[in-house]
Structure 1
Amino acid sequence: MQQIPEAYATAAWRKSSYSNGDVGECLEVVGGMPVVPVRDSKVRGGAILAFGPGPWSGFVTAVKDGRLSAG
């Protein structure tokens, strides 16, 4: 099992404004890094996905535009 980098473990994670409140469908992200780390708020010690700025921006735009669906 790979260890979580210290920079991510001590970072100021924040819930995405597009997460579904306290219902359980929440992403957390960290800003101000060369990549955008993303994790599931329910599994804080679990896997972290790190996106480059371009792909992350594309994902956020697709969510805002309603081009992604949950089902």
Structure 2
Amino acid sequence: MKIEGEMMKRFVVYRTDINDDPYEREGEYDTIEEVKAHKWRLDRHYKIRVDGKFMTRREFDNWAKSAK
């Protein structure tokens, strides 16, 4: 079975709302290095979706250390 369209990237960076729920997609990436190079703003909060699971930046950094 073939599905039309592009393959989804492994990592997606979302901006979060006041309740810390993801609401705005800011970038999609294939590698950990690309996620780390994302232009993070200090006045925003983020969640990163990794293989369907949402993580904070701190959780992502810890996960990335063990993923190498």
* TM-score of the two chains, using structure 2 as the length reference: 0.38
Greater per-residue strand proportion? 2
Structure with the bigger RCO (C-alpha within 8 Å, sep 6+) is 2
